[in-house]
Copies of this chain bind each other. A is one copy, B any other.
Amino acid sequence: MLINCVAYEDGIKLADIQVDEIHDYATLPGCFVWVALHDPSPEELNRLQPEFGLHPLAVEDAHQGHTRPKVEEYGESLFVVLHLLEAEAEQPSMLQVGEVDIFVGPNYIVSVRNRSEHGFADVRERCEREPELLRNGPGFVLYALMDAVVDRYFPIIETLEAELESIEQQIFTQKAARASIERLYGLKQRLTVLKHAVAPLLEGAGKLHGGRVPQICAGTQEYFRDVVDHLNRINNTIDAIRDSISVAIQVNLSMVTIDDGEVVKRLASWASIFAVCTAFAGIWGMNFEAMPELKWRYGYPAALLLISSICGYLYYRFRRAGWL
Contacts and interface: CB of A to CB of B under 8 A. Distances in A.
B289 A240 contact: no
A175 B283 CA distance: 37
A27 interface: no
A320 interface: no
Q: What is the count of identical protomers in the complex? A: 5
A117 interface: no
Contacts of A298: 290
B323 A300 contact: no
Contacts of A70: 229
Report whether over half of chain A's contact residues are helix, strand or loop; otherwise say mixed: helix
A192 B242 CA distance: 12
Contacts of A181: 251, 254-255, 258
Given A267-B272, A285-B282, A249 B247 contact: yes
6 contacts: A72-B229, A172-B182, A177-B254, A181-B258, A271-B275, A277-B283
Interface of A: 55, 57, 67-68, 70, 72, 74, 168, 172, 175, 177-178, 181-182, 185, 188-189, 192, 196, 199-200, 222-223, 225-226, 229, 232-233, 236, 240, 243-244, 246-247, 249-261, 263-265, 267-272, 274-279, 281-291, 293-300, 303-304, 307, 321-323
